[in-house]
Amino acid sequence: MKQFTSAEMEERAEAILLRMTLEEKAAQMVQVPVAYVTREEALLWARRGAGSFLHVLGDDAREIQQEALQTRLGIPVLFGIDAIHGHGLNQKATIFPSQLAAACSWDPSLVEEMGRVTAREVAADGLHWTFSPVLCLGRDTRWGRVNETFGEDPYLAGELGYAIVRGYQGDDPADGEHILACAKHYIGYGEAVGGRDSCDTEMTYRKLREVFLPPFARAVEAGVATVMTAYGSIDGTPFTASEKSLRTILKEELGFDGFVVTDWDNVRSLVEKQHVATDLDEASLLAARAGNDMMMTTTAFYESAIRLVKNGKLDERVLDEAVRNILRVKIRFGLFERAEQRGEQEKLGCAEHLASALRLARESVTLLKNDGVLPLGNSVRRVAVIGPNADDIRAQYGDWTYFTHPHPKPKYTAARPYVTLLEGILTLAKERDVDVSYARGCGVMHEECDDLDAAVNAAKNADVILLAIGDVVQQAGEYRDRADLSLSGRQEELFLRLRELGKPIVTVFISTKPLCICRVAEESAALIVAFNGGMFGGQAVAEAVFGALNPAGKLPISFPRHSGQIPVYYNNLPGWHGEKYVDLPETPLFAFGEGMGYSRFAYSDLQADAENLHVSVSMTNLGIRAGSETVQVYLRDLVSSVLTPVKRLVAFQKIALQPGETRRIAFELTRKDFSIVLPDEQTVVEPGDFLVFVGGSSKDEDLISTKISLRE
């Protein structure tokens, strides 16, 4: 594929733009929801020159593209889809762990591979663009979409976001194996008051720059082609209407040179939900002026934009700039040369891709507690697998797959291959001559057919009980926030009934996000967190249970003890009088960065050099098994002009060590790692003393520290 210089791309875009009519420019800024229009309407939009269509699979995209290529200027259409953890809306595709589960791996190379495989399958399907990654932060677990984030920390989300954008786009997104990525939802979408999806975020621009902007800055550094505007608002100004967020910060300061697409019908929301515009003309004016280049599903923008320009209310140059951004991305992506290209359909779900999903599922398994019951020893001859999520692939997949999402062609039965926990256990147990009994016991949400007695009966002769609990997709996703994060239905009752048998219970948490599982966690012999592990999540957990896998996952998000404790993220600001509630400890149930394996690691001899900002530490595997651990580096600014977090992640490395092995691990920090954002929104580095923490989690007891004095 010919590589165009940026000058050639600019010239080419300009040459097309100069020939476009006002109507063609307005149409190019519209993204049409194929699932919501008839076939004739879709073809009409193609003839008008609509810039993009979404939620259509390759077979149905072709005729729309052919219609578009017949238009006067033949500008090809961009097809976008939510390939959020694999090309999951296509039943043939490889389904990876969710972003939150993938983040437990703390492995940018595996997350990049998830992006690369997803891109190959989306491109093979004849589509061009995924609305991924989500770079919002999961800081309020009441919010329905925490599962789509890389967790609560800006640095971890930024590193994994950078990786997956590189995976999606590659060095040359026009090579037929890569696709356009979309950093979303810009910005601070998960910070809505009360965890209420799309509500106002009471944050300041200082907080926006300090906490929420870094992951998007990393995505821009990775060359992300598009950014999606969030539904919500910042202190009363909808992001869709926020020129400061979109033009000043994203396009001018960060130098983002792709195009901005709104989220679903954001323009209409300015009228109907946020009530900052009286009609669609006014809303369209606000959205275009603020810097939105493409309007997702608000097809009425077409007539409004034409009317606004003709009435002199909107300068046509605003449309020119938006269309130029869109054309530049289409040219860079090689769309004019390969508009109808499709790859081999056999790539979808091929063995190489499935192996990639299994690798990531294995690295995501997170062991949070183990009294020694795991890995199961040879004395264990009978295992009872109990619980609603032990054999429910829909719960295991979580959101954004072909059978949890209405578009484009929902299917209501899961396609093989996949491995649930029960299936994984049955396979490995058979190899070890271990008997397995199974009972569902109850639903995740209350069901008439709950049968706790059957579950107790199935477990009464077992040596060990595996209990799979969590949530289901009806309790998470867009429009599905939860005020009460305790285990729903009779899950806790089921646990207590099983506890009466006096046998060790290994709880396996298969859930979209953290829930308040204090009692279960305290009384389980072991606790494994899998979140939504994708096609092979059940196999990966089963391998950890039997010791075929030495788990190395670390939490990318804190587990609250109670909904009332939220927000409970680790990088909080100091100053709390009393440091705790009168009725709860101040610590989360499980902390950011926490996770253990079947090895034990120790850290010693921490060095930090104030001149070159190098940090080094010795790490030893004290266990009898080879294993990996993610070494984390945190900073605390001891005195600063604004409050700064009690600690903040600035670096990490996943290290594999043989039993007894000691290795020197080095980190190279930069002055930017020490920076803070002042009330006037300037980012500065203030000289002074900092504490450097290094260890296996964000908990003080897992860290060693040393002081470093930064001079001018």
**CB of 79 or CB of 131, closer to ligand GLC:** 131
- Tell me whether residue 106 or residue 212 sits nearer to ligand GLC (CB atom): 212
CB of 699: closest distance to ligand GLC in angstroms? 33
User: Tokens standing for 19?
Assistant: 């020939």
What is the DSSP code string of 33-73?
EGGGS-HHHHHHHHHHT-SEEES--HHHHHHHHHHHHTSSS
Q: Is 36 in the site for ligand GLC (CB under 6 A)?
A: no
Six-digit token string for 308: 């606004």
Residue 287 is encoded by which pair of tokens?
A: 């959205």
CB of 56 or CB of 631, closer to ligand GLC = 56
DSSP reduced 3-state for 275? coil
When the beta carbons of 216 and 674 are compared against ligand GLC, the nearer one is 216
3-class DSSP assignment, residue 403:
coil
User: CA-CA distance, 678 to 640, in Å (whole number)?
Assistant: 10
Does residue 281 interact with ligand GLC by CB under 6 A? no
In whole angstroms, the minimum distance from the beta carbon of 198 to ligand GLC comes to 8
What is the dihedral sign for C-alpha 335, 337, 339, 341?
A: negative
Residue 466 · residue 394 · CB < 8 Å: no
How long is the chain?
Answer: 712
- The alpha helices in 335-476, defined as continuous H runs, are 335-338, 351-364, 393-397, 421-431, 452-459
Contact flag: residue 263 with ligand GLC (CB under 6 A)? yes
Q: Taking CB under 6 A as the criterion, which residues in 473-492 touch ligand GLC?
A: 478
Closest chain position to ligand GLC (CB): 131
The answer to whether residue 686 forms part of the interface with ligand GLC (CB under 6 A) is no
Which residue number, 125 or 281, has a Cβ lying nearer to ligand GLC? 125
Q: Does 131 bind ligand GLC (CB under 6 A)?
A: yes
> Is the N-terminal amide bond of 388 cis, ω within 30° of 0?
no
Pick 231 or 509: Cβ nearer ligand GLC? 231
- Helical residues (DSSP H) of 145-275, grouped into ranges: 154-169, 205-207, 213-221, 243, 266-272
Residue nearer to ligand GLC on the CB measure, 131 or 693: 131
CB of 403 to ligand GLC, least distance (A): 16
Least separation in angstroms between CB 376 and ligand GLC: 40
**Nearest Cα to 513, choosing from 142, 33, 162?**
142
Smallest gap from residue 530 Cβ to ligand GLC (A): 23
Minimum distance, C-beta of residue 263 to ligand GLC, in the bound complex (Å):
5
694 bridge partner residues:
633, 704
Q: How far is the CB of 239 from ligand GLC (least distance, A)?
A: 12
* Bond into 187 cis (ω within 30): yes
Size of the site for ligand GLC (CB under 6 A): 7
Phi, psi at residue 298, to the nearest 5°?
-85, 80
Between residues 33 and 533, which has the closer beta carbon with respect to ligand GLC?
33
For 131, 401, 455, 492, 563, the CA distances from 409, given in Å and listed in that order, are 18, 10, 36, 36, 36
Contact status: 264 vs ligand GLC (CB under 6 A): yes
Q: Is there a cis peptide before residue 588, judged by omega within 30 degrees of 0?
A: no
Q: For residues 99 and 130, is the Cβ–Cβ distance under 8 A?
A: no
User: Residue 667's CB: how many other CB atoms inside 10 A?
Assistant: 19
State which residue, 292 or 507, has the beta carbon closest to ligand GLC.
292
CB closer to ligand GLC out of 140 and 281: 140
HEC string for 208-253: HHHHHHHHHHHHHHCCCCEEEECCCEECCEEHHHCHHHHHHHHHHH
Residues 410 and 420: their CA atoms lie apart, in Å, by: 21
221 lies in the site for ligand GLC, by CB under 6 A: no
DSSP 8-state assignment for residue 251? I
Question: C-beta of 273: minimal distance to ligand GLC in Å?
Answer: 13
Beta bridge partners of 436: 383
Phi, psi of 570 (to 5 degrees): -75, -35
As measured in angstroms, the least distance from the Cβ of 55 to ligand GLC is 6
Q: Is the peptide bond before 133 cis (omega within 30 degrees of 0)?
A: yes
Which residue is it, tokens 């002769």? 461
* CA-based radius of gyration for the chain: 26
Q: By CB under 6 A, what part of segment 166-205 binds ligand GLC?
A: 184
CA atoms within a 13 Å half-sphere pointing along the CA-CB vector of 148? 26
> What CA–CA distance (Å, rounded) separates 162 from 92?
27
**Residue 216 is a binding residue for ligand GLC (CB under 6 A):** no
Nearer to ligand GLC, 131 or 674 (CB): 131
Residue with tokens 């130029």: 324
Question: What are the DSSP E strand ranges found in 381-490?
Answer: 382-386, 435-439, 464-470
Q: Which is nearer to ligand GLC, 263 or 363 (CB)?
A: 263
By beta-carbon proximity to ligand GLC, the closer residue of 412 and 479 is: 479
Residue 82 touches ligand GLC, criterion: CB under 6 A: yes
Q: Which is nearer to ligand GLC, 54 or 517 (CB)?
A: 54
Q: Which residues here bind ligand GLC, judged by CB under 6 A?
A: 54, 82, 131, 184, 263-264, 478
